[in-house]
Homo-oligomer: A and B are copies of this chain.
Amino acid sequence: MTDKNQVQALKGFRDFLGSEARKRSWLIQKISSVFNRFGFEPLETPTLEYESLLLGKYGAEAEKLIYRFEDNGGRRVAMRYDQTVPTTRIIAQYRNELVFPYKRYQIQSVWRADKPQKGRYREFLQCDIDIIGSKSTLSDAEIISLYYAAYMEIGLTSLKIKINDRKQLIAAIKDNGVTSDNIFPAIQTIDKLDKKTEEEVIMELNIKGIPNGKNLIDTLSSSTPSQDLEDIMSYCEKLGVPKEAFVFSPALARGLDYYTGMIFEGIIPEYEVGSVGGGGRYDNLINDLVGVDMPAVGVAIGFDRTLEAAEVLGKIPSDIGSSKVLVTIFDENSIASSLETTSWLRQQGIATECYSDSSAKFDKQLKYADKKNIPFVIIIGPEEIEQNKIRIKNMKTGDQELVTRDSLISFLS
């Protein structure tokens, strides 16, 4: 028998019971329905890969967070850390079978041995959507409009899209005399203009050896969207993303150093925790990783944050967690009638439970319905059988009614 102290989940890992698991499925189904409607295809890769595939791909700090070990056959293996690296393997391995531009989405767990804290877990769902093998700004527009459509489908209609062009940002930084090896450090600091004051950012730039921070910030704030961004936003409008959804953000940098063109981030104004996802164009990454020249553009939906936003803003149906009806068992003689009614309700598509113990007292059965938030209870005893009717009790109001089977449906809806 297990040590009772260890009968618990590992720190940073989550159990999803009933309604939590249902909410997650609800969100996955909502967003995948959009991906499918946009003609993107799903991809699933294994949980374990050769360690060598992952090593050297994420930088030294991130690499410490990879779960990796030696398997029983002496192979060094690693658990999925992100979706990008496994996807590059797919591209290298199946390049003769895949049709390019390859449009795929991937919704799978990743594992990171990070310090657990609020909103940061060691196992969490990542949701990536990418177009691989196209340089065209039409693909950038497809990705943004797909991202936007997903939030419309969820009901998060206030979504704003902050957009910028990495090329334009880098040009502005260079024009301000920043040396090549200081460009990425500068980007990382500029990225903080959202959270820090202008003075703080200028000071941080100074510390990094970039003296004219004020100029740089002024240059950025007075700039207008590049031609690429103009094209992308105009294509997006035709694809159903209104102009007002965009916020041109010339200081938006996105942390990752592999972006090469358009970058964007989704924000829900009423949900102030931060970006709910983002992405951009990365034309060199796949070549750097697996030596296959493949321009690409993509987005990652922040699953946990988006789910939380949908929940906080009341977009998840409240009845998602429970059955609609509990059919009780009155006594041994009425079991058959109760089972038949259960089966009939299920055939009508109504989520129905039958109490699964014929010896349980009626009170216990009612308590079961109450605890599980089942709104209606059906009672079929000798009286009801004789009259060929069904007694239905509304658990909220306590009202009871004796109805025929056929009128049951209208009663329930």
A residues adjacent to B (C-beta < 8 A): 1-4, 6-10, 13-19, 21-22, 24-25, 29, 32, 36-39, 41-50, 52-53, 56-57, 64-65, 67, 69-73, 75, 77, 79, 89-90, 92-94, 97-99, 101, 103-104, 109, 111, 113, 122-123, 131, 134-136, 138-139, 141-142, 145, 149, 235, 238-240, 288-291, 321-323, 326, 329, 335-336, 339-340, 342-343, 346-347, 349-359, 368, 371-372
Given contacts A9-B49, A15-B45, contact A346 B37 (CB under 8 A): yes
Q: What number of copies of this chain does the assembly contain?
A: 2
Interchain CA distance A358-B235 in the complex, whole Å: 12
Query: What are some 11 contacts across the A-B interface (CB < 8 A)?
Result: A13-B46, A15-B43, A15-B94, A17-B98, A25-B32, A37-B351, A39-B322, A48-B67, A142-B356, A239-B343, A240-B347
Kindly state the separation between the CA atoms of A393 and B195 in the bound complex, as whole angstroms.
53
Chain B residues within an 8 Å CB radius of A354: 138, 142, 239
Q: Which residues of B contact A17 (CB under 8 A)?
A: 41, 43, 90, 94, 97-98
Cα of A2 to Cα of B16 in the assembled complex, Å: 36
Given A38-B352, A351-B37; A10-B89 close (CB under 8 Å) = no
Write the nearest CB–CB distance from A236 to chain B, whole angstroms. 9
A247 → chain B closest CB, angstroms: 22
Residues of B within 8 A of A104 (CB): 18
Smallest beta-carbon distance A114→chain B, Å: 10
User: Are A46 and B7 within 8 A (Cβ)?
Assistant: no
Q: In this complex, what residue of B is CB-closest to A77?
A: B10
Instruction: Give CA–CA (A75, B22) in the complex, Å.
Output: 31
**Alpha-carbon gap, A339 to B322, bound state (A):** 41
Most buried by B among A8, A17, A22, A49: A17
Given A13-B46, A39-B323, 16 other A-B residues pairs in contact with their CB atoms under 8 A: A2-B89, A10-B46, A10-B49, A10-B77, A13-B47, A15-B45, A17-B41, A17-B98, A18-B42, A37-B346, A39-B351, A47-B123, A65-B72, A101-B357, A142-B354, A238-B335
Contact partners of A290 in chain B: CB under 8 A: 1-2, 7
Report B-chain residues with C-beta under 8 Å of the C-beta of A73.
Answer: 113
When C-beta atoms are compared, the residue in chain B nearest to A89 turns out to be: B7
B53 and A2 contact, CB distance less than 8 A: yes
CB neighbours of A134 from chain B (8 A): 356-357
Question: Cα distance A101–B47 when bound, in Å?
Answer: 33
Q: Is the CB of B335 within 8 A of A138?
A: yes
Tell me the bound Cα distance from A59 to B81 in angstroms.
32
A52 touches B6 (CB 8 A): yes
Cα(A220)–Cα(B56), bound, Å = 63
Name the B residues within 8 Å of A122 (CB-CB): 48
Q: Given known contacts A6-B52, A9-B46, A357-B139, is B238 in contact with A336 (CB within 8 Å)?
A: yes
Q: Given the complex, which residues of B lie within 8 Å of A111, measured CB to CB?
A: 47-48
Minimum CB–CB distance for A206 against chain B, Å:
36
| Pairs A-B, 10 closest by C-beta atoms | A39-B353, A69-B69, A238-B339, A13-B46, A39-B323, A21-B42, A18-B41, A16-B44, A136-B357, A139-B356
Residues of chain B lying within 8 A (CB to CB) of residue A6: 50, 52-53
Instruction: Report the minimal beta-carbon distance from A102 to chain B, rounded to whole angstroms.
Output: 9
* Pair B22/A41 contact, Cβ less than 8 Å: yes
Closest to A326 in B: B39
Please give, as numbers and ranges, the residues of chain B lying within 8 Å of A89 by CB-CB distance.
Answer: 2, 7-9
A352 CB contacts on chain B under 8 angstroms: 37-39
A257→B159 CA distance, assembly (Å): 55
Residues of B within 8 A of A288 (CB): 1
Shortest distance between the CB of A25 and any CB in chain B (Å): 7
A351 and B41 contacting across the interface, CB-CB below 8 Å: no
A46 touches B138 (CB 8 A): no
Q: Which residues of B contact A355 (CB under 8 A)?
A: 138
Known contacts A7-B92, A336-B238; is A46 also within 8 Å of B343 by CB?
A: no
